[in-house]
A and B are shown apart, each in its own frame.
Chain A
Amino acid sequence: EAGVTQSPTHLIKTRGQQATLRCSPISGHTSVYWYQQALGLGLQFLLWYDEGEERNRGNFPPRFSGRQFPNYSSELNVNALELEDSALYLCASSLRQGTYEQYFGPGTRLTVT
């Protein structure tokens, strides 16, 4: 069974640009979660999507947004990139909303210069 996949593996952007990160959940999983792991700040919850709807978001500004598609894959968009957005962005999926364990992908390393 294929795990959670994320693309791209690495992304380099300039301050002020926009970044788009993609995630494909495990087959059969309807919930997708996004986390940010910045150096020195640990893993922080960003967004949770289930059945195409945003269910919860963490303490991040509105320039962090996303969506979930009918096939349950998801996209994270970061607008007006700032240097402190440089981080490992992790996507996770679970069987259904909230209850089950989350399985994480390998992450996308975003570097903002």
Chain B
Amino acid sequence: DAKTTQPPSMDCAEGRAANLPCNHSTISGNEYVYWYRQIHSQGPQYIIHGLKNNETNEMASLIITEDRKSSTLILPHATLRDTAVYYCIVRVVGEGKLIFGQGTELSVKP
């Protein structure tokens, strides 16, 4: 079973920041937080991952709370092409499989 809880859906206006929350209250010390997204019927796309520090790359920022029980993925300027299902996954270092939950369906509207 997935170890994360995400809202099933969210809307965001084009050009605004999209903030996607994820709860992982049972996360252990050797588990990373990963974010992937899946645009309709395509393969999932890796976005970002982190352990305890905030991370930023060209796609997004990842904010992890100090107690590591929750995190937020931030898309700073959402576009229509960011409409997708976003998955938050916790994963032990060295564990191959990704366990996907239901994710958050983000709809970016003009």
Tell me the A residues contacting B by CB distance below 8 Å: 4, 31, 33, 35, 42-45, 48, 50, 55-56, 58, 88, 90, 92, 97-99, 101-107
Contact = CB atoms under 8 A, between A and B. Distances in A.
Interface stretch (B10-18, B58-66, B69-77, B90-98): B90-98
Nearest to A31: B96
B21 interface: no
Given A101-B34, A101-B49, A43 B44 contact: yes
A105 B102 CA distance: 20
A98 B43 contact: no
Interface string B30-56: 000010001001111110010000000
Nearest to B43: A104
Contacts, number: 55
Given A33-B97, A101-B46, A106-B43, 20 more contacts: A4-B43, A35-B98, A43-B44, A45-B98, A45-B99, A56-B96, A56-B97, A88-B41, A98-B93, A98-B94, A98-B96, A102-B46, A102-B98, A103-B46, A104-B43, A104-B44, A104-B45, A104-B46, A107-B42, A107-B43
9 contacts: A42-B100, A42-B102, A45-B98, A88-B41, A90-B44, A97-B96, A99-B93, A101-B34, A105-B43
Contacts of B43: 4, 90, 92, 104-107
10 nearest interchain CB pairs? Answer: A104-B43, A48-B96, A43-B100, A45-B97, A98-B94, A101-B46, A98-B96, A104-B44, A90-B43, A105-B43
Contacts of A44: 100
Interface residues of B, number: 20
Contacts of B99: 45
A88 B20 CA distance: 26
Contacts of A48: 96-97
